Structure 1
Amino acid sequence: MSIPQSGGGLIEDRNQLAQYLSDGCKPQENWAIGTEHEKFGYCMKAHMPLPYEGECSIRMMLEGLRDRFNWEPVEEGGNIIGLTRDGANVSLEPGGQLELSGAPLKTIHETCDEVNEHLREVKSVADKCGMAFIGLGAAPEWSHDDMPLMPKGRYRLMDGYMQKVGSFGTQMMRRTCTVQVNLDWSTEADMVKKFRVALALQPIATALFANSPFFEGKPNGWQSWRARIWQDLDADRTGMLPFVFEDGMGFERYVDYALDVPMYFVYRDGKYIDALGMSFRDFLDGKLPALPGEKPTLSDWADHLTTIFPEARIKKFMEMRGADGGPWRRICALPAFWVGLLYDTTALDAAWDVAKDWTAEERDALRHDAAKYGFKAEIGGRTLRDVARELLEIGENGLKSRARPGAGGLIADETHFLNALHESVEAGMSPSDELLAKYHGEWNGDLSRIYDEYSY
């Protein structure tokens, strides 16, 4: 999750809220790719999640990265809670999941190099401390009480609030991991088209990257338990946003939506002030109960936008939020999937043609069915396996059209990053299917085998 935002002056006019989003418009030559991925850390001896303190701990990991690889520390209340370097940052999810939020880069080759460097650094520190990291969408065995809450004020507030809304909020916070990619737009119209494609097709990403078939030590009956959790969490700030597909969608319409999402907090002088359930509309009028008479800054608006969790969301860029955390090779496949579909005009048009006739009810049903059934889910008489195959062909053509070479020109384009997804579709097996086959086969129901075979 995000670190506190900064750099915004007082909001004097409501139009500044939409302008903040509009300021994300960039000419195509300046479009970038920002990849984020989360992973679970655990002690190798006991296969238990890492505490914040101790010899085998999150603090040791962050301090090791700081001391050995020139990361700058981010602290809160005297605790190291993150790191920054060269436009990237390392942060903590509520249960100690370690996240890399990558720098905005021009090609998938570059973002994959960044991922590889990060995981090598993490493994180097982890090996010396007796810890390891694994990429899964949900914690396979650990209970809620096994996952310690990290010492961040934001999370203390959210933890209490999540117990009051939905059924799975604290599971999301402590026991899930995702891979995301952040992408740009050129104009408001370009944002709208990309947003519609991104939302409609998130369930296909969920099926392609489904990697959480276990929870609390046994199969849970879902391809993506992480995606299941998001379906019963907090209806005020999650979902498929049907208004995005309606006439009149634009920056102002998203502002209207965001203003109606209840607040979590206001960040002041290094502290999180409880604003749970309060209204940003009241804040604009100086009537926020938590800060009577005070009006918000653009930093407050930026912070508020980070507390909204639909399947895709916008800030000054667009975030794709539908994929489970996964193995090393698949981290780079996610940006390849979305860049191929959204960063080439022909591909974007073709991707919209796939989804444009789906109704809001069908999109909602597909969100559920993709998490439950994966490739076997259906929409419009087609299986998601068939839809995914078509989209991969569209995306591959989009990447070929981009023609961004790598390895000093030895690699012609970025299409090889899709290979893992092509293999899944042709085999008809998601990562969850592969894990379940091992669990019911060679592992003979011994889920502890997952650590040795699937850790980074």
Structure 2
Amino acid sequence: MTTPRISYAHLLATPNPKHVESLLRFFENGRAQRGTGGFGVEIEHLPVHNSDDTAVSYYEPNGIEALLNRLRPYYDESKEYWENGHLVGLAREGVSVSLEPGGQVETSLGILRKPGDLNALYAKFRRETDPILEEFGWRFVNYGYQPKSSFADIPVNPKDRYDAMTAYLGRVGQFGPCMMRCSASTQVSIDYVDEHDAIAKLRIGTAIGPILAWFFRNSPYFEGETNTWPLLRQRMWDYLDFQRTNVIPGLFDPRFGWEDYAVDVLSTPLMFADLTHTPEVVETGASGKALHRPAFYENAGDVYPDRELNPYEINHIISTHFNDVRLKNFIELRHWDSLPVERAERLTEIVASLLYVPENRERLESYFDGLREEDVFEAKANIQAHGRDARPYGQPWDFWHAFLGAEGLLADEPGDPKHPDVFQA
């Protein structure tokens, strides 16, 4: 495997002050607009053929493109997303449907006022989708990784950005193509009220993320074989690209704040540049490939003009980072396996209980007071090395089961290939 040379001068460069200020204002506006108490939930689905459980591609007859076109009447025509003449996204109030690189179908639901709202929105999506899937002869699987197909068997969908991602992630780290083409997740987003609240939630979410990932693990297969990694998707992300994954650098330093996070994301090479909403470039009539070009050694200051960044540019810059927990104008808890909606709802309930209920939040902050980055790294390594016998942060699974209020999870093993729910959506 060939690894591209990285210019660390970019990592040491001082970001454009106007760009830093743009991100700080973006974070501040998230606080002002959203308040606290809401949720967003994203569930990614793996499309597989009923006949042999292999992956369904975007381009095949009655494939993913055909599905999106059949779903168009249910969505807002003004919110359709097209690239290179192909439909790649749909949206309406409360629901959006988008594609990951290997054709994984992501459903984003929210803003939800309580976890129980998830099921009603999701059920409507499935009532519209499932009859089409039955007609086409394939279905959605909620697993963290494709059950039969290898990454090498799955073409990327027609988004221009994925060509640049393939070129970069195919040469960096260990699992780039696997993550892009075969993996699927559940993500939960929450609100914050101010900078202090946001940083505290980032820290708690980062600390408990691997533990909840164990309770909700759901990746029985990897590359067509039985998966041997206790937390497969966590392993893939941690070894994807050290510049932009794992724990946010400096997060557990008591002095860490929004500006530190902004400097980190603005100083790291972008991987690819999205200039589709950069007027100075769009007005030149640049092609789609030029608007989505590789930026392997260029950070935001090299790519974007010397002015305040607009919200689209900011979202793109942040989206090139894949930390365990990510700050946008909300907080995004990432890297959990794709889950059936009932378990996704239970995960959301636990997140709500831990981060929105003051006494639970205070209990977690007290317990993890003084936690360091290396403690989180050690906890992850402990789980990967010992699985059921792991003791993350020095405590057994029984302790975490009670401490996090994860009732009913230890007896349920959806990640076991022998589990009766295998292949059920």
- TM-score for both structures, normalised by structure 1: 0.81
Q: Report the CA distance shift for 1:301/1:221 in structure 2 as closer, same or farther (over 3 A).
A: same
SS in 1 for 2:255: coil
Q: Report the CA distance shift for 1:371/1:240 in structure 2 as closer, same or farther (over 3 A).
A: same
The residue type paired with residue 55 of structure 1 is P
Quote the Cα distance in structure 2 between the aligned partners of 1:335 and 1:217.
Answer: 30
Question: Are the aligned partners of 1:210 and 1:224 in contact in 2 as well (CA < 8 Å)?
Answer: yes
Quote the Cα distance in structure 1 between the aligned partners of 2:59 and 2:393.
Answer: 51
Q: 1:336 aligns with which of 349, 372, 386?
A: 349
Quote the Cα distance in structure 2 between the aligned partners of 1:136 and 1:210.
Answer: 9
Q: 1:219 aligns with which of 215, 220, 226?
A: 226
Moved more, 299-308 or 369-378: 369-378
Quote the Cα distance in structure 2 between the aligned partners of 1:215 and 1:353.
Answer: 38
The offset of 1:161, in angstroms, is 0.4
Q: Report the CA distance shift for 1:40/1:357 in structure 2 as closer, same or farther (over 3 A).
A: same
Task: State the Cα deviation string for residues 159-191 of structure 1 (Å, max 9, x = none).
Answer: 110012111111111111100011110011111
| Identical-pair percentage | 27
**2:407 aligned with 1:422, yes or no?**
yes
Q: Which residue number in structure 1 is paired with residue 266 of structure 2?
A: 259
Q: Which residue number in structure 1 is paired with residue 28 of structure 2?
A: 22
Question: Are the aligned partners of 1:48 and 1:146 in contact in 2 as well (CA < 8 Å)?
Answer: no
Quote the Cα distance in structure 1 between the aligned partners of 2:178 and 2:234.
Answer: 11
**2:388 aligned with 1:382, yes or no?**
no
Task: State the Cα deviation string for residues 274-303 of structure 1 (Å, max 9, x = none).
Answer: 3233111334675xxxxxxx9854422221
Quote the Cα distance in structure 1 between the aligned partners of 2:76 and 2:132.
Answer: 13
Q: Which residue number in structure 2 is paired with residue 366 of structure 1?
A: 379
Quote the Cα distance in structure 2 between the aligned partners of 1:380 and 1:131.
Answer: 42
Q: Report the CA distance shift for 1:221/1:78 in structure 2 as closer, same or farther (over 3 A).
A: same
SS in 2 for 1:41: strand
Q: 2:75 aligns with which of 53, 67, 70?
A: 70
**2:39 aligned with 1:33, yes or no?**
yes
SS in 2 for 1:323: strand
SS in 2 for 1:326: coil
Moved more, 267-276 or 248-257: 267-276
Q: Report the CA distance shift for 1:320/1:14 in structure 2 as closer, same or farther (over 3 A).
A: closer
Over aligned residue pairs, what C-alpha RMSD do you find? 2.4
Question: Are the aligned partners of 2:36 and 2:192 in contact in 1 as well (CA < 8 Å)?
Answer: no
Quote the Cα distance in structure 2 between the aligned partners of 1:339 and 1:216.
Answer: 34
**2:302 aligned with 1:272, yes or no?**
no
Q: 1:105 aligns with which of 83, 99, 112?
A: 112
Question: Are the aligned partners of 1:24 and 1:317 in contact in 2 as well (CA < 8 Å)?
Answer: yes
Quote the Cα distance in structure 2 between the aligned partners of 1:277 and 1:436.
Answer: 42
SS in 1 for 2:296: coil
Q: Report the CA distance shift for 1:180/1:228 in structure 2 as closer, same or farther (over 3 A).
A: same
Unaligned runs of 5+ in 2: 1-15, 277-281, 283-287
SS in 2 for 1:241: coil
The offset of 1:18, in angstroms, is 1.1
Q: Which residue number in structure 1 is paired with residue 313 of structure 2?
A: 300
Task: State the Cα deviation string for residues 118-162 of structure 1 (Å, max 9, x = none).
Answer: 223221221121111100011122112221211101111101100
Task: State the Cα deviation string for residues 180-219 of structure 1 (Å, max 9, x = none).
Answer: 0111100111111111101111111211111113212222
- Mapping of 1:9-158 within 5 angstroms? 12=18, 14-26=20-32, 31-67=37-73, 69-72=74-77, 73-158=80-165
The offset of 1:357, in angstroms, is 4.2
Q: Which residue number in structure 1 is paired with residue 279 of structure 2?
A: none
**2:424 aligned with 1:455, yes or no?**
yes
SS in 2 for 1:102: strand
- TM-score for both structures, normalised by structure 2: 0.86
The offset of 1:258, in angstroms, is 0.9
Task: State the Cα deviation string for residues 238-258 of structure 1 (Å, max 9, x = none).
Answer: 011251111221111111111
Question: Are the aligned partners of 1:41 and 1:131 in contact in 2 as well (CA < 8 Å)?
Answer: yes
Question: Are the aligned partners of 1:34 and 1:182 in contact in 2 as well (CA < 8 Å)?
Answer: yes
The residue type paired with residue 360 of structure 2 is A
Quote the Cα distance in structure 2 between the aligned partners of 1:357 and 1:296.
Answer: 35
Q: Report the CA distance shift for 1:189/1:266 in structure 2 as closer, same or farther (over 3 A).
A: same
Question: Are the aligned partners of 2:192 and 2:198 in contact in 1 as well (CA < 8 Å)?
Answer: yes
Quote the Cα distance in structure 1 between the aligned partners of 2:383 and 2:54.
Answer: 30
